[in-house]
Structure 1
Amino acid sequence: MSRPRKQVHLAAHFPGVNNTTVWADPESKSQIDFSSFRHLARTAERGKFDFFFLAEGLRLRELKGRIHDLDVVGRPESLTVLAALAAVTERLGLAATINATFNEPYEVARRLATLDHLSEGRAAWNVVTTSDAFTGENFRRGGYLDRADRYTRAEEFVRLARELWDSWEPDALTGAGDGFVRPEAIRPFSFQGRHFDVAGHFTVPRSPQGRPVVIQAGDSDEGREFAARTADVIFSRHGTLDDGKAFYADVKGRLARYGRLPHQLKILPAATFALGDTEEEAAERAAAIRRQQVGPQTAIAFLEQVWGRDMSAYDPDGPLPDVDPDLSDGVWGGRVPLGDRTALAAKWRALAEEKRLSIRELVIEVTGRQSFIGTPAAVAALIDRFVQEDAADGFILVPHLTPGGLDDFVDRVVPLLQERGVFRADYSGTTLRDHLGLGPGSN
């Protein structure tokens, strides 16, 4: 007997200032004006998306001591923006990226619980970590964490936040909205761990959805295990069908040892899209977008993050350098390269030789997310296939333009997913946990 068709989950990522955003396009508007956030959020809600997702940057990126030109408009604080969006949306989930390295659990739990009350149960927290001293220079303690300690602190952070959220009983407030508190329904908290030693009483009543949704992004073995123990949603980088299936099976397979069921963790890779009336038109549009996203300077800057050298003398439309990476500096351009840089450089060199790629062409290829390219019907069919074949539970869409980049998808692809019976025609619940099919957050 065949299983019922799975429902597709969709979320919208506000692209912000990075090399995904084609900020020089005439259609690109402000990255910080509230009107831009409002437009994209309302478009996502019109499309019945699960949530709207904001990234975070705790330091402006630099290249050879100069601010990277893609960061000059600034990076606003997520929860402030989402609190404002709660007033102009009704059902859309509101997800903030908040760093577990440079914040304190009590204050983050308090701010998220407040957003959850303001939005009537739509708050989410994307937990990220940082181990580099470059970002740490903006904070009193600096980049004190070893890379291996990122997840130990993050796991304690989330456990403590959940203890705070759970310290108020659901019926702690008596009466019909009169706001009176039953003191006996507020439990004191006391937490002692490797990173935190705190005690007291939490100040915010229990979240309307039990607990805010927890999102996590990580591909390392530590990150996967952290997600299996802790997260409600994992923001995956795996885009191809085969890679997606392998990642999906691996992470879902880890849940049982923590007493969790497969449906209790949603796997949502990031994805871009390019639509056209024909496949050829869509392919041409996608290629043009990628060349806008990865200009000559961006290609060289990205290469420098891996090689750890000044590569400005190299032609971005020429071959890769014949020198090895300089491993003496762990940070280049404000980012810590992932993994073994020597091995990564060798992998890139082999790929460039196999496909005869220039530096810019290589960077375009290796930095591309999963991208759905084609007619609206073809894109809807492919998204449906990924979900039905357990390569993903849905996707977090990253448009290349702010704020109108999602409009075409909502107008042309969402109706086709609805016709297939794999995407909601309207919201059936009021909270983000309802949208994700997670059930209420509880002990």
Structure 2
Amino acid sequence: MSSSSAQPTGRPRQIHLAAHFPGVNNTTVWSDPAAGSHIEFDSFTRFARTAERAKFDFLFLAEGLRLREQGGEIYDLDVVGRPDTFTVLAALAAVTERIGLTGTINSTFNEPYEVARQFASLDHLSAGRAAWNVVTSWDAFTGENFRRGGFLPRDERYARAQAFLDTARELFDSWHGDEIVADKESGRFLSDPAAGAFRHRDPHFDIEGRFNVPRSPQGRPVIFQAGDSEEGREFAAATADAIFSRHATLEAGKAFYQDVKGRLQRHGRTHDELLILPAATFVLGDTDAEAGEIAHAVRRAQVSGRTAIKLLEQVWNRDLSGYDPEGPLPDVDPDPGEHTVARGRASVRSVQDPLATAREWRQLAEAEKLSIRDLVIRTSARQTFVGSARTVADDIDAFVQARAADGFILVPHITPGGLDVFADEVVPLLQERGVFRTEYEGATLRDHLGLRVPRPGAAAAEPAGVEEAAAS
């Protein structure tokens, strides 16, 4: 099956769509009566079945390894936590049939044998629908939950992540196929003596033994990577089947797309071997004007006064609880020190120069007469697609045809029912114009994504295609 990035002449590029169960964050409008639990299995089931009904490629789960803190207290939006990723995905495998199951699993505080065994098992249980989003962790705060505590510098995190993934691939590939044969007369199993045998030694891992899960339906789970740094882009170009990006404007998307795709050749890969799938939010209305009004209300619900102060503290690196969120920005400058007022959030490190950011924000607030809350709403993430169903379908299609993305991972602001309106109104329009499937054509996630099953020992998925763990 060919990838969406290599369509026959005259045929529009096919769109990939996925659904992100958003975890715990300020994207979800908790105050909406339609907002449900983020831990009860019924929520996951409804969300996954809606995505499967709409013929989406996969469901995506983020992961949090520790409740985040701010000012020494658990951040209020994190109180409910997240269930274990493998437990949820394994359970979903039993109540779905075709949709891919993608889990975010950390390479900094886990071990290759354990993770490879879990993903290979999930791939068998789901009949070839498993995918792994490989991430790293940057902070000692998260590391305190693990025996190997502390943290790794950025270059060492990526070196460990690469070694981790290389080791996991060796484990996946330690079985080449049908090495086990049942001898019914003797009641014994005959096996290749080399089946599952492995030995890996590098500065990070020194392991040897026999991998006890035979080769799975996809050969290996699909590998995702989420990141935008130089190291993250290079890591994805070398190893990933898909990259989960944050570039949601057309021009930024095209630049990112060209940059990452342009790195593939030096790793012996083609453009077809890596899909670029930005995260995207959406707000739908009967008209574009109505959708705009709803989007404005959603943003104000997402950023309450208290949340605005919390988010500003992450840039200022100070306690700002005494400031009025409807008032002006603080006169005091951010604290550029090494300590952080928020712990366990990768986003805190995303502001490279807080003093420069503060100057820019003060100029913006003065020019547009913005309060703290208004400014945070203005500068924080906004809805990617806003409009009627037809407008949103047009915009999504335009992104993919312009090679600004291969598709999108959709993050609704209501869980679990927020995906329903997209499935019912936008998907049929994409199907009508021939850019999105009306039925699944294959059984595995590699089939959905247009990725071939890799040969044992191949560095990456053959043509058909880590950044810090995101706080989501």
User: TM > 0.5 between the two?
Assistant: yes
Find the aligned partners of 1:172 and 1:318 in 2 and give their Cα distance. 69
Find the aligned partners of 1:423 and 1:56 in 2 and give their Cα distance. 29
Find the aligned partners of 1:15 and 1:29 in 2 and give their Cα distance. 12
Offset at 1:426?
0.5
Number of equivalent positions: 443
1:405 aligns with 2:414: no
Find the aligned partners of 1:293 and 1:164 in 2 and give their Cα distance. 43
Find the aligned partners of 2:413 and 2:102 in 1 and give their Cα distance. 19
2:331 maps to which of 316, 322, 342 = 322
Distance 1:347 1:99, change over 3 A: farther
Runs of 5+ unmatched residues, structure 1 = none
SS of the equivalent of 2:342 reads coil
Offset at 1:417?
0.3
Find the aligned partners of 2:341 and 2:331 in 1 and give their Cα distance. 19
Offset at 1:113?
0.4
Residue of structure 1 in register with 2:200 after alignment: 191
1:375-430 per-position Cα deviation (integer Å, ceiling 9, x unaligned): 00010010000000000000000011111000000000000000010000000000
1:425 aligns with 2:430: no
SS of the equivalent of 2:159 reads helix
SS of the equivalent of 2:441 reads coil
Find the aligned partners of 2:134 and 2:188 in 1 and give their Cα distance. 31
Distance 1:417 1:320, change over 3 A: same
Residue of structure 2 in register with 1:230 after alignment: 239
Residue of structure 2 in register with 1:376 after alignment: 389
1:95 aligns with 2:102: yes
Per mean C-alpha deviation after superposition, the further-off stretch among 56-65 and 355-364 is 355-364
Distance 1:321 1:213, change over 3 A: same
TM-score by length of structure 2 reads 0.90
2:446–2:452: 8 Å Cα contact kept in structure 1? yes
1:144 maps to which of 151, 172, 175 = 151
1:270–1:398: 8 Å Cα contact kept in structure 2? yes
AA at the equivalent of 1:220: S
Map residues 354-365 of structure 1 onto 2, 5 A cutoff.
354-365=367-378
Residue of structure 2 in register with 1:311 after alignment: 320
1:15-42 per-position Cα deviation (integer Å, ceiling 9, x unaligned): 2221011112111111100000000000
Find the aligned partners of 1:307 and 1:122 in 2 and give their Cα distance. 43
1:23-68 per-position Cα deviation (integer Å, ceiling 9, x unaligned): 1211111110000000000000000000001110111111212211
1:240–1:370: 8 Å Cα contact kept in structure 2? no
Distance 1:266 1:65, change over 3 A: same
Offset at 1:185?
4.9
Residue of structure 2 in register with 1:124 after alignment: 131
Find the aligned partners of 2:188 and 2:439 in 1 and give their Cα distance. 32
Distance 1:354 1:154, change over 3 A: farther
Offset at 1:354?
4.4
Find the aligned partners of 2:150 and 2:354 in 1 and give their Cα distance. 21
2:282–2:386: 8 Å Cα contact kept in structure 1? yes
1:133 aligns with 2:140: yes
Find the aligned partners of 1:351 and 1:3 in 2 and give their Cα distance. 46
Find the aligned partners of 1:241 and 1:130 in 2 and give their Cα distance. 30
Residue of structure 1 in register with 2:77 after alignment: 70
Distance 1:94 1:25, change over 3 A: same
1:347-376 per-position Cα deviation (integer Å, ceiling 9, x unaligned): 433443444432222222332155110000
RMSD between aligned residues? 1.8
2:112–2:165: 8 Å Cα contact kept in structure 1? yes
2:180–2:192: 8 Å Cα contact kept in structure 1? no
SS of the equivalent of 2:405 reads coil
Runs of 5+ unmatched residues, structure 2 = 1-7, 459-472
SS of the equivalent of 1:96 reads strand
Residue of structure 1 in register with 2:218 after alignment: 209
Distance 1:365 1:175, change over 3 A: farther
Find the aligned partners of 2:190 and 2:334 in 1 and give their Cα distance. 61
Find the aligned partners of 2:269 and 2:367 in 1 and give their Cα distance. 43
Offset at 1:225?
0.3
TM-score by length of structure 1 reads 0.96
2:222–2:445: 8 Å Cα contact kept in structure 1? yes
1:235–1:270: 8 Å Cα contact kept in structure 2? yes
Find the aligned partners of 2:242 and 2:188 in 1 and give their Cα distance. 33
Distance 1:187 1:111, change over 3 A: closer
Find the aligned partners of 1:348 and 1:190 in 2 and give their Cα distance. 54
Distance 1:270 1:200, change over 3 A: same
SS of the equivalent of 2:384 reads strand
SS of the equivalent of 1:337 reads helix
1:19 maps to which of 11, 14, 26 = 26
Residue of structure 1 in register with 2:469 after alignment: none
Find the aligned partners of 2:401 and 2:15 in 1 and give their Cα distance. 9
Map residues 270-309 of structure 1 onto 2, 5 A cutoff.
270-309=279-318
AA at the equivalent of 2:397: D
Residue of structure 1 in register with 2:409 after alignment: 396
2:226–2:245: 8 Å Cα contact kept in structure 1? yes
1:438 aligns with 2:451: yes
1:348 aligns with 2:361: yes
1:262 maps to which of 271, 275, 289 = 271
Find the aligned partners of 1:209 and 1:347 in 2 and give their Cα distance. 49
1:85 aligns with 2:85: no
1:212–1:441: 8 Å Cα contact kept in structure 2? no
1:16–1:402: 8 Å Cα contact kept in structure 2? no
1:15–1:401: 8 Å Cα contact kept in structure 2? no
1:9 aligns with 2:16: yes
Per mean C-alpha deviation after superposition, the further-off stretch among 363-372 and 114-123 is 363-372
Distance 1:279 1:114, change over 3 A: same
2:196–2:212: 8 Å Cα contact kept in structure 1? no
* Higher RCO (CA 8 Å, separation ≥ 6 residues): 2
1:173–1:179: 8 Å Cα contact kept in structure 2? no
Find the aligned partners of 1:402 and 1:426 in 2 and give their Cα distance. 25
Offset at 1:184?
3.2
Residue of structure 2 in register with 1:173 after alignment: 180
